[in-house]
Amino acid sequence: KPMMNGKGRNFMKKIVKIHTEYIKLGQLLKMINEIGNGAEAKAYLEEFDVYVNDELENRRGRKIYPNYIVKIRDLEICIESE
């Protein structure tokens, strides 16, 4: 469902389930098909604003844990443990 955030942008909500304690931001980008491989993560993060829990993030190695919210372009991704 589209959801409005405080800045007036529409976000599509998506849930990503992880099997480990955390995943790295670069791995998440690959899981949701924003990049083809890990080597593309750095360039992607330089080109697009990615927010982790409403903080701008540019490190592909940032650890993403369950209950984190990641916003990428028009996606709001909720991380859940499986």
Express each pLDDT in 25-82 by its tens digit. 999 999 999 999 888 999 999 999 999 999 999 999 999 999 999 999 899 999 999 9
Sole residue written with tokens 């993030």: 57
Q: What is the pTM of this model?
A: 0.85
Tokens of 73: 């372009």
pLDDT value, residue 38: 82
Find tokens 């949701």 and name the residue. Answer: 32
**Residues 66, 18: contact at Cβ < 8 Å?**
yes
The helix (H) or strand (E) run that includes residue 27 is helix 25-31
Separation CA 26–CA 16 (nearest Å): 14
Quote the CA–CA distance of 26 and 8 in Å, as a whole number: 27
With bands split at pLDDT 50, 70 and 90, how would you rate the model's confidence at 9?
Answer: low
